[in-house]
Structure 1
Amino acid sequence: MNLKHSLSALNKLRKSHSKQPGLFKQILHSVPVICNANRFAQSYQEQLPNGAPLKQPGENPLWDYFQNHTQGHGIWKWEHYFDVYHRHLAKFVGKKTDVLEIGIYSGGSLEMWRSYFGEKCHIYGVDIEEACKEYENNYVSVFIGDQENRAFWNDFKDKVDGIDVLIDDGGHTAAQQQVTLEEMLRHIRPGGVYICEDIHGTHNRFSAYASGLVDQLNSMRDSQFQSAVHSIHFYPYMLVIEKHAVQPKKLNAPKHGTIWQPFFKNTINE
């Protein structure tokens, strides 16, 4: 890192400290723990029993579609993504579903999502290239704009009531991914799923941002974020956020039963 980048990083740290000194202190204390986790993961080794190969996922129509798609509009995906897709998106198959894919490229994935979700789905594609307008048809609507532009998303939300599935396969910069998540998470309907692809790199800034969301999901203070977000999942190069279908009012931990810590006689309820 050169001097210019170092000074820029220090300036950002100073601003963060001035805005939320308490939170900054907590995060600073977590840095050694994060370093320990990195060292553990880098040195981790595991051998499958008897050298058995990893098994391919079970029945997966998305994987079958991708494997059989050898001509036509191009689809470019990491192979391990298809198990993640099917795990989180199968519940929408055959239902009325609004899907947003950011990053149209050659248009092949628009056709794949239509084949997977069925005739009741409508697909919204977003791309910065004007030429992608040619992919529009009766079940695909294309919006041209910059996903890092909040005004673009405000315009999109004015025209589209809500989204059930969001797949960010766009520009892949941390800034683009962060703006998209911040602007669109509220626009994803209850029970909806957000997926961000290609967050690879050991110190990916968007992955670090998403880790901060995990901290808030684990907060002991009930928040609207916890009421909206059911779970956050990390996979290699991929982030998935699922929203609650029915928002809980608060997180509870009630006690059920009559006997507690039986190894202490004086705590047994008689």
Structure 2
Amino acid sequence: MWRGYFKKATNMTFIDIDESCLRFEESEINILIGDQSDKSFLNKVIENHGPFDVIIDDGSHLCNDQITSFKSLWPAIKDNGIYLVEDTHTSYWPGFGGGYRNEASFIEFSKRIVDRMHTWWTDQDELFPYNQQPININSVRFYDSIIAFTKKENRTHPFNITSVNGKISKDRRAFGLRERESLFDKDSKFHQN
């Protein structure tokens, strides 16, 4: 099935826990038997088969396994690559480690990534402390039961560089944009009758 979607792929690697899947192995299609929650196994996969253009997680659907796999495999995604997690509706099922707004679910994990992407823009440092480490996630897209992440290496944010008495400082305050009036503020002329 995947060969039909990725016709130009020169090498495809699949992970499954079921040994009967080995029958699908052929030239340029690697079938690896292992557990997606096993970090040492995932590290061997990366070492022997990475880096990857695309990763599709259609594994156990357990929230903890999805998170473990993402944390382990994301560094092996190439720049401009995509990491897709299927069946994320299980994040709402307690039997899969989820539940509505359960912090341990993959959906909530993904929402925290969105927050992490936007810590640059907030002035609520006590809630969203700025992390100096650049984030290499370019986008997070939520679909019905699918979340897709795209990678962009060396993604940086603009700094407002100032000099006071010869001391240079970088400010993440987005060049004073927070202090500017919005077109949609209640006091704006757009709200006057």
Interval of TM-score (by shorter of Structure 1 and Structure 2): 0.5 to 0.7
Deviation at 1:218, TM superposition (A): 0.7
Query: Contact between 1:217 and 1:225, CA under 8 Å: does it hold in 2?
Result: no
Residue 224 of structure 1 is matched in structure 2 by 133
Residue 127 of structure 2 is matched in structure 1 by none
State how far apart, in whole Å, the 1-side matches of 2:158 and 2:141 are.
19
1:173 aligns with 2:62: yes
Over residues 160-211 of structure 1, what are the superposed CA-to-partner deviations in whole Å (9 max), with x where a residue is unaligned? 1301101000100001101000001111011000100111136261111111
In structure 1, give the amino acid aligned to 2:143. Y
In structure 2, give the amino acid aligned to 1:126. I
State how far apart, in whole Å, the 1-side matches of 2:158 and 2:138 are.
11
1:147 aligns with 2:36: yes
Deviation at 1:152, TM superposition (A): 0.8
Residue 2 of structure 2 is matched in structure 1 by 113
In structure 1, give the amino acid aligned to 2:142. F
State how far apart, in whole Å, the 2-side matches of 1:147 and 1:251 are.
37
State how far apart, in whole Å, the 2-side matches of 1:209 and 1:248 are.
21
1:157 aligns with 2:57: no
State how far apart, in whole Å, the 2-side matches of 1:148 and 1:187 are.
16
- Number of aligned positions between the proteins: 144
TM normalised by structure 1 equals: 0.49
Query: Contact between 2:134 and 2:155, CA under 8 Å: does it hold in 1?
Result: no
State how far apart, in whole Å, the 2-side matches of 1:223 and 1:234 are.
26
State how far apart, in whole Å, the 1-side matches of 2:81 and 2:141 are.
14
Residue 122 of structure 1 is matched in structure 2 by 11
Residue 247 of structure 1 is matched in structure 2 by 154
State how far apart, in whole Å, the 1-side matches of 2:85 and 2:37 are.
14
TM normalised by structure 2 equals: 0.67
Residue 25 of structure 2 is matched in structure 1 by 136
Residue 206 of structure 1 is matched in structure 2 by 106
Q: In the alignment, which of 139, 145, 153 is matched to residue 237 of structure 1?
A: 145
State how far apart, in whole Å, the 2-side matches of 1:187 and 1:176 are.
17
State the Cα RMSD in Å: 2.1
State how far apart, in whole Å, the 2-side matches of 1:135 and 1:188 are.
24
State how far apart, in whole Å, the 1-side matches of 2:81 and 2:15 are.
18
Q: In the alignment, which of 78, 81, 86 is matched to residue 197 of structure 1?
A: 86
Deviation at 1:222, TM superposition (A): 5.4
Over residues 137-159 of structure 1, what are the superposed CA-to-partner deviations in whole Å (9 max), with x where a residue is unaligned? 01210110000111111111121
Query: Contact between 2:13 and 2:49, CA under 8 Å: does it hold in 1?
Result: no
Q: Which runs of 5+ in 2 are unaligned?
A: 93-98, 121-129, 160-173, 182-193
State how far apart, in whole Å, the 1-side matches of 2:78 and 2:8 are.
20
Deviation at 1:223, TM superposition (A): 4.1
Residue 28 of structure 1 is matched in structure 2 by none
Identity %: 28
In structure 2, give the amino acid aligned to 1:121. T
In structure 1, give the amino acid aligned to 2:41. F
SS for the counterpart of 2:88 is coil
Residues 149/120 of structure 1: CA separation in 2 closer, same or farther (3 Å cut)? closer
Residue 95 of structure 1 is matched in structure 2 by none
Hey, which of these two has a bigger chunk of strand by percent? 2
